[in-house]
Amino acid sequence: MKILFAASELKPFVSSGTMSASVLKMIKSVSKKCEVEAILPFFSTINRKKFDITPTAVSFEVEVGEKREKAEIFEAIHEESGTKVVFVANQYFERDGLYGNETGDYPDNSERFIFFSRAVLEYAKISRPDIIHCNDWHTALVPVYLREIYGKDEPLQKVKTVFSLHDIRFQGKFWSYDFGLLNLGREVFVPEKLEFYGDINFLKGGIVYSDALAVSSDEYLEKIQTEEGGCGLAGLISCSLDRISVIKRSDRFVEIYKKLLAE
């Protein structure tokens, strides 16, 4: 069983909050029982020399709106877990900050992470994972694209998705004028899917489209079902309880993977 972890952060390469440590914990645990790879944006803040990150011969183009952006693949070994880590390089990630600077969020963050989400799936066509495990809004479009485009044909037809919710406050909400960048049909811009009070909500898409969802505690699951703690998504969370697992020990993810692949 092969698992591809998709995230925007992973210790020690890049970290701005708790997600990077949580992803590391999952990878260390799951890699004891499964073949694991991780894929990250190659932010310019990542120290290429320190982590011995090397180029590969792999590159491909990714469709973003009317453009085709080149993704170049670099790789390294995660010293603590022994996991292969793949980095997606593009001009989108050649900036001083991960998601913004002192003036605020980057105005093209939707475009940046549409690119990264599709790059994850383009790489998955090469890597051939059984499960893609996504994390927070930055990779929330991976399940959407898998269901709407990539999973309709081989080699990704049987791939399942797991989506870990680390911090529901950050949802990847963008104005509707960015919808054209997605290259998806208008039928996905509805309240049951990506539309959120007139905007696009990446995190909502991940919740709707993923095969399984995970949170770290019963307390957090209860919190995000409240009006305040759910940050506008409490109703969706409550309607998705049949797909949500509380994972207190990361090795339990293996059980979820096996169950999904047996369906």
Q: How far apart are alpha carbons 45 and 47 in whole angstroms?
A: 6
Burial readout 143-164 (b: 16 or more C-beta within 10 A, e: otherwise): bbbbbbebbeeeebeebbbbbb
Q: Are 208 and 188 in contact (CB under 8 A)?
A: no
Q: What is the pLDDT of residue 248?
A: 87
The DSSP secondary-structure symbol of 119 reads H
Q: 28-41, pLDDT tens digit by residue?
A: 999 999 999 999 99
Q: Where are the domains of the chain?
A: 2-262
Q: What is the pLDDT of residue 60?
A: 98
Tokens of 237: 């969370």
Q: Measured between alpha carbons, how far is residue 68 from residues 60, 63, 64, 111, 176 in Å?
A: 10, 5, 6, 12, 21
Tokens of 179: 């919808």
Q: 197-232, pLDDT tens digit by residue?
A: 999 999 999 999 999 999 999 999 999 999 999 999
Q: Is 243 left (phi over 0), alpha (psi -120 to 50) or beta?
A: alpha
Q: Which of 234, 82, 65, 99 is nearest to 165 (CA)?
A: 234
pTM (predicted TM-score): 0.97
H or E segment and range at residue 84: strand 84-89
CA angle in degrees (0–180, nearest 5) for 38-44-45: 85
* CATH class of domain segment(s) 2-262: alpha beta
Tens digits of pLDDT across the chain (263 residues): 999 999 999 999 999 988 999 999 999 999 999 999 999 999 999 999 999 999 999 999 999 999 999 999 999 999 999 999 999 999 999 999 999 999 999 999 999 999 999 999 999 999 999 999 999 999 999 999 999 999 998 999 999 999 999 999 999 999 999 999 999 999 999 999 999 999 999 999 999 999 999 999 999 999 999 999 999 999 999 999 999 999 988 889 999 999 999 98
